[in-house]
Amino acid sequence: MASNDSGRRTYVYAGLAGETAPGRMVNDRLYRMADGDGRWEQLTNGLPESPAVRDIAVHPHQPDIVYAATQDGPYRSTDRGDSWEKVNVPDHRRTSWSVLFHPWDPDVMFAGYDSCEIYRSVDAGDSWRQLPVSVRFPEVTTGPGSNPAKRVLMMAASVANPSDVYGAVEVGGIIRSTDGGESWENLSHGQYLNDDYVDMHGVLCSTLKPEVVITIARAGIFRSEDKGDHWSNVPVEPLNVKGQTYCRCITETPGDPRTIWVAGGANFQSDMGALFRSTDGGASFERVDMGFVPTSTIFGLAFDRREPSHMFCATNAGDVYASKDSGDTWSVHPLPDGASQVYSLACG
C-alpha cells in the first residue's frame, strides 16, 4: 500500500454530483480509496443525507484536513474523511461548487457558490465572510436548456502576487480580484470561439511565469500573458463536430510548473474522454496516449503531492484511472456499480 513520507497512507477521494438546472441528473455520494488498495468505501459520517459533492480540496500540508463542497455548503473533515462537520458559512440555500486553499497561505481560503457568490476565510476555515462580487455579464448569451446559474466552478490564486485571485464562472466568464477579493472585474472578452457562449470551467495561475493565467472552457483552452487583460486560444486536438474540445479540469504537476494537465472529452457527456499535457508552461498542449480511450468525458485530475509521479483521473461515468509513472501507463479502479456523475477528485 502506498504511503506518504510520514509513513501514512495516501487517499484518493471521488465525489458524485450533477447539474443544478431543472431536469438535469444529480447523483450523490463521496468515496475514498487508499492508494494501492483498489477498494472504495463510502463516506457518510456527518455529511448531508445525500451529499452532491462538486469539489474536494485536501490541505496542501495537513492531509488530515479535507473539504467537500456540497449542496448545503462546504463540509470539513479533520480525520481524512472519517467524520465531517458543516463549515461556518451562513446557510443561504446556495450550492457550493469550489474550495481553494491559497497557495501562499493555506489559512486563507475561498469558497465559490452559484449566483457568482464567493466567501473568504482568513482563519483556516473557522469563520467566513461573503466578498462583494458585483460583476455582471451583459455580453454572455445562454442557449436553450442552458444553466445561467453563474456558478464559480473553480478558483485560483497567484503565488507570486498573493492578492491576485481568479474565478471561473459557468456560465459567465473569468473574474479577477487584485486586492484579495475585495473588488472584482470581468475578464471574459477574448474567450469566445465560433458562436459559443463563455462557459468557463477552470483557471490556473502559472507558478513558472507569474503573469501567465490559463483558463479552460467548453470551447477549449485560453492563455493570457498579462494576468488576464488579453487572451489567446491555445489549439488542442478537436474532439467534437464544432471543431472544439470540451475541457473540464486543469492542474499543474506539483513541483514541475512547466508540466500542466487538462482533462476533458468530446462534450459534457460523451463517449470519449481525453487528457492533454503541456511541457512548456501551457504555451502548447498535446493529447496523451493513455493506451486506451476512456469511454466518457474525464472530469477530474489529482496528484499525490509527495510523489508527483502518482496521478489519477476520473471519468464522469465512474471510472477512476491511476498512474505511477507520470501518465505513461494506467490502471483502472472503477467506482461501485451505479456510481456515475463524478464531479470531483482529490488526493492526499
Q: What is the pLDDT of residues 108-125, one digit of tens each?
A: 999 999 989 999 999 999
Query: What pLDDT shows up at residue 97?
Result: 97
Tell me, what's the pLDDT at 190? 72
Q: How far is CA 223 from CA 140, 205, 285, in A?
A: 20, 10, 12
Using a 10 angstrom Cβ sphere, with 0-12 exposed, 13-18 middle and 19 or more buried, the burial of residue 293 is exposed
Determine the pLDDT at residue 19. Answer: 80
CATH code where residue 305 lies: 2.130.10.10
Where b means 16+ CB within 10 Å and e means fewer, 78-96 reads: eebbeebeebebeeeebbb
> Using an 8 Å Cβ cutoff, are 246 and 265 in contact?
yes
Residue 247, helix vs strand vs coil: strand
The answer to whether residue 174 sits within a structural domain is: yes
Cα three-residue angle 200-29-292, rounded to 5 degrees: 65
CA 123 vs. chain centroid, Å, equals 23
In a domain, 326, yes or no: yes
How far apart CA 300 and CA 286 sit, in angstroms, is 18
Q: What is the pLDDT of residue 69?
A: 97
Parent domain of 166: 91-334
Q: Are strands 213-217 and 232-234 parallel, antiparallel or unpaired?
A: unpaired
72 within some domain: no
Residue 151 is which amino acid?
R
- Look up the pTM and report it: 0.94
- Provide the grid cell at 27: 447523483
pLDDT at residue number 196: 60
Q: Does residue 21 fall inside a structural domain?
A: no
For residue 43, is it within any domain? no
CA dist list (Å): 78 to 8, 62, 122, 285, 302: 15, 9, 18, 37, 20
**What's the domain count of the chain?**
1
Residue 114 lies inside a defined structural domain of this protein: yes
Is residue 176 within 8 A of residue 187, CB to CB? The reply is: yes
Measured between alpha carbons, how far is 235 from 222 in angstroms, rounded to an integer?
9
Kindly state whether residue 257 falls inside one of the protein's structural domains: yes
Beta-bridge partner residues of 4: none
Backbone angles phi, psi at 141, to 5 degrees: -105, 150
CA dist 216 → 44, 157, 202, 276 (Å)? 32, 16, 5, 12
Instruction: Give the residue ranges of the chain where pLDDT is below 70.
Output: 1-7, 21, 137-149, 192-197
Q: Is residue 25 part of a domain?
A: no
Mention every residue, 6+ apart, whose C-beta is less than 8 A from residue 234. 214, 220, 221, 222, 223, 282, 283, 284, 285
| Sign of the alpha-carbon torsion through 273, 278, 284, 287 | negative
Q: How far apart are CA 338 and CA 242, in angstroms?
A: 31
46-56: per-residue pLDDT in tens? Answer: 999 999 999 99
